[in-house]
Structure formats: structure tokens, C-alpha cells
Amino acid sequence: MSKRGYHHGNLRQALVEAALALIEEKGPTGFTLSEAAKQAGVTPAAVYRHFKGREELIAEAARQGYEIFADLMEFAYAKGQPSPLSSFEATGRAYLAFARKYPGHYISMFESGVSVNQSPELAIVANRAMAVLEEAAMALAENIPPEKRPPAKMVSAHIWALSHGVVELFGRGSPGQKSPFPPEDLLETGIGIYLRGLGLIKPDS
């Protein structure tokens, strides 16, 4: 048996990568720690030197996913400037791109049942990703009188939910769910309709 984890000097990361491959193939509950150990080329006992159980292993995969996700969202938001609307739309496209490129991480983050409060480290990085959408919502609402301004947390939560719904239904090739429109178009038009309804962008924007 190849001891890949030991050979590369990072058994912990080798186990995370093994888990990501298994999660993508079998889902977050479709594999055992023994399978992850075998995939990483180590004995099952070696897993427990780094993780207490499967949930902790998946939580680390989720944490790493949120790191990638937050970096991608921050980059997309900055690239979309100077228009607040284009920045908001760029974060939506980044959400779709992340789900497609990193399915193992995405499933660990959103479909595994692991809470973002499973560890302080996971909570911090998850909040960093959400903060990008809140910043975008605040920028869009700057010109609205405070008494008519919707809470940024509410707007960002709605956009997150819209993005997540498009990804789940149409962005990841789910069986039986084929959209007549590209997922990016669905998301951008949905965001536009929502923001116009709140008065955050003009009807002709």
C-alpha cells in the first residue's frame, strides 16, 4: 500500500483530498473513514490522529471550500467595479462558477449537514464570504433614504438564496432538471427583478 500522505508530509491534507473525491462520487454520507484512509494510502488508525470522525473531516473540507469561495467572491466583487450592480451580478456568476469547479467543496459546505458553527475557524471564513454580498447590498442602497433602505443582511440573504436555488436546480446538472435558459441568465434576470422591486436599481437599469 502506498503511503502517499506520509510521503508528502501532509497526511491531514491527503485525507481531506480523499474525502473530497469520495464526497463528489458518493455524497457526504456515502463513504466511511476507512475508505478515506484507503484513498489517501494510509491505515484507518492514522485518520484519528487528525480527525475525530467523518463529520470533522467533512467540516475541514467545508472550511477549505469556504476559503476558496470567499476569495472568489471578493475577487468577483472587486472586478465588477465601479458599478455596484455589475459587482453584485459578478458575485452571482462566481457562485455558479464555484459550484461547477469545486463540487466536492460545495457539497461539503451546503449539503453535508455540517453547521458553519461546527468550529470557530469555519464560522469565520463562512461569514467572510457572506460579508461580500452584504457589502454589495450596502453599496446599492447608498442613494436610498435611510428610512426606505432595506437591511443589507436581508438583501444579501435573499440573493444568496436565489443563487443557491439556481445552482441546485440548474447549475450542477441535476437529473431531470434542465432549464431552457443558461443558469447565468436565470440568476442575473432574477437579481435584476428583485433589486428593481426593492427600488435599489432604476427600472431601465
66 and 27 within one domain: no
At position 204, the amino acid (one-letter code) is D
Structural domain containing residue 173? 59-198
| DSSP-assigned letter for residue 8 | T
4 and 80 within one domain: no
110 and 65 within one domain: yes
Q: Is the pLDDT of residue 15 over 80?
A: yes
DSSP letter string, 141-175: TTTS-GGGPPPHHHHHHHHHHHHHHHIIIIIS--T
How many C-beta neighbours within 10 Å does residue 186 have? Answer: 20
How many C-beta neighbours within 10 Å does residue 35 have? Answer: 16
The rounded mean pLDDT for the chain is 85
How many C-beta neighbours within 10 Å does residue 27 have? Answer: 12
109 and 18 within one domain: no
203 is a domain residue: no
Q: What is the pTM of this model?
A: 0.84
pLDDT, mean of residues 14-28: 93
If one counts the domains in the chain, the total is 2
Q: Is the pLDDT of residue 132 over 80?
A: yes
How many C-beta neighbours within 10 Å does residue 116 have? Answer: 19
Residues 60 and 24 sit within 8 Å (Cβ to Cβ): no
pLDDT at 2: 39
121 and 24 within one domain: no
205 is a domain residue: no
